[in-house]
Every structure is written in structure tokens, then in C-alpha cells.
Structure 1
């Protein structure tokens, strides 16, 4: 099916659901057809999607408004028979910059794309809700297809994992010499008052010893990073984009909003004492607290015009397997009903992945980085007919296609940033994906 555009909203969606014993998540993901979707987040049900009943694409500065309008027209007129947990949702995201370049590895990723999966599995404890979504079909046809997919899932069994594919070669898109020059130039502009902060990133191209299994890679990430948002976004063909990100951009339930500031990083210690020492050093770091406060302050400002009340929690430490971050939870109550995409548009890019002032920082990023960010560090997530939804910032992420993977990582630069220390932080941030690709032996 060709992607739906704003002026093509006459498509009629039919959706039917049934409850069934939960099949294995990894095997379910492996059994459905592309484009596949995985979404799992703290305090949210895990969702597996396969195929695309509807695809909505848009580009340019109005891409989110176009997506919202097209999706709302479709969902408002849909014939849905199923509980709220199982109803159809749009899953997807968009590029970090307004326009997609089409450069590898993002050849098949437009500026914005969201899909309603044809097959949607929502895991609810020991059970799951299976939903079959189809366009311009009668209810009987959809119910017959639902029964067929359920029968297929009854036979799905978890197979032994093949283990990491192994890394044969690595290629850095940014040399350490070029990195030092870029960081020093950015710091000079910050000290001159042109910028307050900018986030520069790197890409690491990895050749694998054998093709990677995307479902198995996501399963291993889930074991190591159970408290992160795991996601998979796939086009029909080409590279898969996946990750395990600690950074929620925003979630909306009715008028209640959850977000937060995640900025400032250090490593994990080899012992409990060393780990706690590193955490205390991070909490006391003037540079990291300055960087963090810029992010928290900007998020508060971005929410202010939409909110009746904003609540900022205490700053603390968010510990992950390979790094620990400064973290401040931020909640809000909206003044009026708002679609989650309106909040996404207001918040992206946060200073944690872009910089301040935003436009000046984006110019520096475009001029400096020798690779295409594509969907890296951009919002990925879902929304439903009510405009509720959940989005994460796509960091700790990679594209994977056959025996090739491209990993992405970035760091925030402020006036006292040191190029070599920032280089080391980037290498730490590659570890979540790289560790799951490398063999243990």
C-alpha cells in the first residue's frame, strides 16, 4: 500500500481483537512480516507489530501536523471492536532534521513515517491481545484473517538464541583529530556567546561476522537494560532502526504529561564503592550540572505555555549497565487537551540532543557532523485515537541490515568541555549496542 498523505484520508480502517495466551515476544516478532514494530517501556505493555495496514508519511516543517491530521481522520472513522488496550495505534517517528537526505543507512527512512500494524500484539501479563487491522475490508474478512493469525501464533515457539553475531571490522566516521578540532571550535563559539550548548555526535560503522537477528538483539538489550525504552522501527525493505534508550521524551495520558531531563554522564565502577564515588562526583560536577540545568530549564520553558501546572522532582542519578546519568523527573498537567504530537513538536529537539539556542545549535550540527543523523536522537513512539501516546528519544541506537550495523552516540558540549574526555564518553555510549553485537569469547 502506498503511504497515505493528508489529502487521502478516505481510507476506512476495520479493527478486530481477541485475547489469547501470550506467545513468546521474541518468537512473535520473528514470525510477523515487515515492517515490524517493537515497543516496550517502563509501566507500559509491550507491543509487537507486523505489516502495515496504513502508512502515513510527511516531510518539511509541517510534517507533524500533517501526520496528526491524516491519522486523526483515519482513526476517528475506524470500525473498532476491542478493548482500549488492544485498539489500533500508530507507531513510528521522524528524522532529527526537518528533511530526510536519503543517504545511507537511512535510504528508506523519510522525514516522518507512522504505521498502523496489520498484526498488533499487546502483551498483558500472561495473556496478550491480538488485533488485526485492515483497510477497506468488511468485518467478516478481518475476523477470518484474525482467526488465521491466531492459529499461526498458537504454533509459535521460542527457539534457542544464536548469540551475538560477532564484530569483524569497525570504521569511525570521525577521526580523533577531527573530533578534537570540532569540539574546540564549538567550545570557542560557546565561550564567545554564540551558543550556550551544542550536542555533537559520532557514527561507528560495524561489519559483522554473520547477519544479526534483530529480534534476538532486542531480546538481549532487554535483559541488560530492562528499565529502558526498547524500540524497533522498520521500513518494508532496508535497514532496521532499533535501540534501548534511557530517555523518555514525553508521554501523555489525558491531560497528564510525564517527561524529564537526562543529561550529564559518567561510567560505572568496578566495585560498589567505586560506583558510588563516581555517582557523587557526577552530582558534584559543575560542568555536568550546568549542562543538565540547561536541559531541565528548557523543558520547563517549553511546557509552560501548554500547562496549568508543572512539577519538577529532585535531581538524582539514573544508573544503567554501562553509564550513569543525572536525572530530573518533570511532570505537568495540561491547560487543555493536547495531542501527544503537539508535545513532541514543542519538545524536540531537547538540549540533551540538540543545543541552545536551538537553531544555532542545529546549524553547527549540520555543518560539523560528517554523517547523516537520520532518525538518531529523534522521537520514536506511538499514539492512539485519543491523542494519548508515548515517545522516547532514539539514543543508544543503531541501524542494522544483514552484516552491517551503524551505531550512533553523542555528547553535550559546554564552555569547559574537554575534547578527550568527551571522546571517551562517546565510546561509553556505544557500549549498549556494541556489547550485544560482540561475541563473548
Structure 2
């Protein structure tokens, strides 16, 4: 079957034309994603519409410490000369993409094709809402009549796709290579706790990478669909570089920030334990986690830092009750946080202010980032960085890209990290990293 057609990215100086229509029915997201043309986009999140993007009408890239502002300004320039008829709020054109974790990002393997920031405005955007599916076609190289014709053509192509949701199983893992040995890990954690005891650090998040060779090439639409069955309450994403060829995907429980109007939603997610084999054991593990001084201390560092990072923009900040967030393989301590902004702000302004939270970086932030750079023997790339979407109003939704992997052909590199504080034990932290690989590894093996 031919993929949905896409146009080449056009210069941002051209005007945006966007048209949408309600569809009586639509193929399953997996089928739409399989038929989409690179770069493919997928986004699904709690209480949000699911979106499948095909191709690109416009692409914004940026690098360095100024990448957040550069993306925001380029998108605002494009949206400012737009001719948009969305039909529904959910069908409005949106940019999807993400940022590198570090300001200095080289794009070495496995991150070839992923710059310091890249956001795609899909040529074809299929949005699944509670009220039914919507189809949107965006262009910066055509007039309204041509875009309306493309909209009709895209709708016809979608109706020809299979309505069943057949998929292949996991590809199988042939081999694994750890970038960090057990002895190197112990040395790194001990060095970090020594620096914490000396007062140079309060917390640092150290990560590992697991390089896998698969029995057969990975189907990204299939793995995203399987993650949706196991982790329906997580933020699920797929982003491909502009030239396709690879994909960064995941199912993360951690929201960085959501903005609509002046209402901000975020939260602290830090402190981890496993799941029990019985409901009684599960509850016992949760109670033990909430009573554990090390995990509670780590969690409160994150919650306090998020409130401090939001304070310059907020007229009020409210923290909910600390609670347990249960996932298929782990349990976390979670504190929901909401805020009301004092003035209108773009979501990317808040993304820049919040990244990296101490849940993936550390405290003090600059010292923690230097420690990560000096310690980790691999490139984080987009791992643990902000990924999500924003629209012309500056509203948007971003998650923290943990529980993730970057895949190309029959290889996939997985990432996982843990927070190191004064009383961290290297062996226990090693075990926690292995636990955090499971969401992605289970879908590969």
C-alpha cells in the first residue's frame, strides 16, 4: 500500500494554510502510523487527543542553549501569517518534536539526524478525539484551494486503509551491550555521594544505556501500539528525524508541563520501587516507599525545585497530596502541581524554565549537569529531555522522555537513570536501573 503523501519542508517565511474536516470513521492509529510517510509522528497522553502525523509541511531546527527561544520565534513567525480553518480545537495545526538534554549536543550515533531541537508541522495530521476523528492538512507552499483538494485526497487515502489492528509481536533480542560496567557504576555512584557529602552536590541523576541487537528490524508502529496496551496512562510518543530512518519512542509517566490559557499542570515524580506479586505485597511495597527516607528526600528535592522554577511566572502554585503512581513494572511517588500564570506565556518558555527538573538532572542544576557530562560514557541525546507539542496560541503539552529508546533497523538503544543522594547504595541503584529498562525491553524481547 502506498504511504500517505507528504510535501518537502518549506521555508518558514511562507504563509501557513491549514484546513480540517471531521471524518465519519478512521483507521486504528497503528494502521495510520504504518501508512504515514516519514517523518512520522505519534502522540498520546492522558486526557488528550491522540495524534498521528504524516510527513512535514514545515520543520524547525535549532541548536545550543538558545534553542528554546529560536524554536518559539520561528514557529510564531510562521503562525503569524497563517490562514487556518481548524473546525475544532483538537484539529488545530501543531508542531511536534523535542529537544536534546544538553545544550552541547553532537548528534553522534545513535542520535544521527536528531539536532539540538527539531519540531515538525505534519503535512497530514489525524486527530482522534472523544467526539470522533478529525483530519487536518497543512501546507506552506500552496493556496487554500490546493490545500482543500489535498484534504479530500488524504481523506480518500485514509478510507482505503485496513480497519483491523493486526500487528507483529516483539522482534526478539539477539544481544545486549551495556555502556557502563558494574564496577564503573559503583565508582561513579561513590564519587557522586562523596561530592554530595562534601557539599558540592545535593542530588545528581546518573543514567545508563543498553545497546541491543534485535532478531529482526523493529516495527515502530507495532511497538508504540503494544506500549499503549501496557501503559495506557503514560505519555506515548514517536518522533522520527526529518530524513526518517530511525525513531525515538517511549512511554513515560512523567509530565514536564501542560499549558492551556494561564493554567499550568506539572508534577514531581521521583522515588521508585517494584510491583508486588499480590495486591498485599504491592500495597506493602507502596507503604514502604512512602516511608523510606532516601526516596522521600529525593522526591521532595524535585517538588521544591519545580515550585521554585515556576515561581517567577506564577500568581499562585498549588501542590496536591503526595501519592503512589502505579505502572506495570514499577511504583513511583508522585505529587501533582498546578499553577496559574501571572501573564500569558508560551509553553516553550515554561519548558525552558523547568528543564531539566531534578528528577532527571540534579541540584544544583549546573553542577549536576557537569557531573553527568563528566560521568556518563554515552550521549543522552533526547533521552530525559522535553518532547511534546505546541500550537499557535502557545498552548501545549510536554513530557520528560524517560522509559524510552532510539531505534534504527535491527538495533535499539535503551536508556534509564536513577537519582543519587547522600545515602544511595550503588548496588540498589543498579537494580533500579534494570527495573526501569523493563517497559521498553519487554516490548523487544
What is the rounded CA distance, in whole Å, between the counterparts of 1:47 and 1:252 in structure 2?
Answer: 18
* 8 Å Cα contact 1:217/1:436 also seen in 2: yes
- Secondary structure of 1:429 counterpart: helix
What pairs up with 1:168-187 in 2 under 5 angstroms?
168-187=174-193
Q: How does 1:6-85 map to 2 (within 5 A)?
A: 9-20=12-23, 21-83=25-87, 84-85=89-90
Confirm or deny that 1:155 pairs with 2:160: yes
Q: Distance in 2 between matches of 1:199 and 1:286?
A: 18
Using the size of structure 2 for normalisation, the TM-score is: 0.96
Residue equivalent to 1:115: 120
Deviation at 1:61, TM superposition (A): 1.3
Distance across 2 between alignment mates of 1:367 and 1:391: 27
Residue 304 (structure 1) aligned to one of 311, 317, 325? 311
Which residue in 2 is equivalent to 1:194? Answer: 200
1:406 partner SS: strand
| Contact 1:107–1:238 (8 Å) recurs in 2 | no
CA contact (8 A) 1:3 1:56 kept: no
| Aligned mates of 1:100, 1:242 — CA distance in 2 | 19
Secondary structure of 1:437's partner? coil
- Between 248-257 and 118-127, the greater mean CA deviation after superposition: 118-127
- In the other structure, the counterpart of 1:87 is 92
Residue 334 and residue 315 in structure 1: after superposition, are their counterparts in 2 closer, same or farther (change >3 A)? same
Q: Is the 8 A contact 1:173 1:204 kept in 2?
A: yes
Runs of 4+ that moved beyond 4 A: 1-4
Q: In the alignment, which residue of structure 2 is the partner of 1:395?
A: 402
Residue of structure 1 aligned with 2:426, choices 419, 422, 426 = 419
**Cα distance in structure 2, aligned partners of 1:293 and 1:51:** 42
Residue 60 of structure 1 deviates from its aligned partner by 1.2
In structure 1, what is the equivalent of residue 4 of structure 2?
A: none
Could you tell me how far apart the structure 1 residues matched to 2:323 and 2:414 are?
28
Tell me, what secondary structure is at the counterpart of 2:14? coil
TM-score normalised to the size of structure 1? 0.97
Instruction: Return 119-128 or 403-412, whichever deviates more.
Output: 119-128
In structure 2, stretches of 5+ residues that fail to align are 1-6
C-alpha contact (below 8 Å) 2:100/2:382 kept by paired residues: yes
Other-structure match for 1:133? 138
Retained in 1: the 8 A contact 2:227–2:251?
Answer: yes
CA RMSD of aligned residues (A): 1.1
Shift of 1:136: 2.2
The 3-state SS of whatever aligns with 1:408 is strand
Check the 8 A contact 2:9/2:57 in 1, yes or no.
no
Q: Residues 271 and 299 of structure 2 are in contact (CA less than 8 Å); yes or no, is this contact kept in structure 1?
A: yes
Following TM superposition, by how much is the alpha carbon of 1:155 offset from its aligned partner in structure 2, in angstroms? 1.1
State the secondary structure of the residue aligned to 2:443: helix
Whether 2:147 is the aligned partner of 1:142: answer yes
SS in 2 for 1:205: strand
Matched, 1:339 2:340: no
Contact persistence 2:26–2:159 (CA under 8 A): no
C-alpha displacement of 1:3: 6.7
Match of 2:104 among 90, 96, 99: 99
Given that residues 2 and 55 in structure 1 are in contact (C-alpha distance below 8 angstroms), is that contact kept between their aligned partners in structure 2?
no
* Separation in structure 2 between the aligned mates of residue 307 and residue 277 of structure 1, nearest angstrom: 38
Structure 1 runs not aligned, ≥5 long: none
Secondary structure of 2:272's aligned partner: strand
Q: Secondary structure at the match of 2:442?
A: helix
- 1:276-291 map, 5 Å: 276-291=283-298
Tell me the secondary structure at the aligned position of residue 383 of structure 1.
strand
Aligned to 2:435: 428
Does the 8 Å contact 2:235/2:253 carry over to 1? yes
From 273, 276, 279, the counterpart of 2:280 = 273
Alignment of 1:191-340 (within 5 A): 191-235=197-241, 236-340=243-347
Kindly provide the CA deviation profile for residues 79-115 of structure 1, in whole angstroms up to 9, marking residues without a partner as x: 1112222111000011000122121000100001101
By how many angstroms is 1:2 displaced?
7.8
Secondary structure of 2:233 counterpart:
coil
Matches of 1:60 and 1:397 in 2, distance apart? Answer: 23
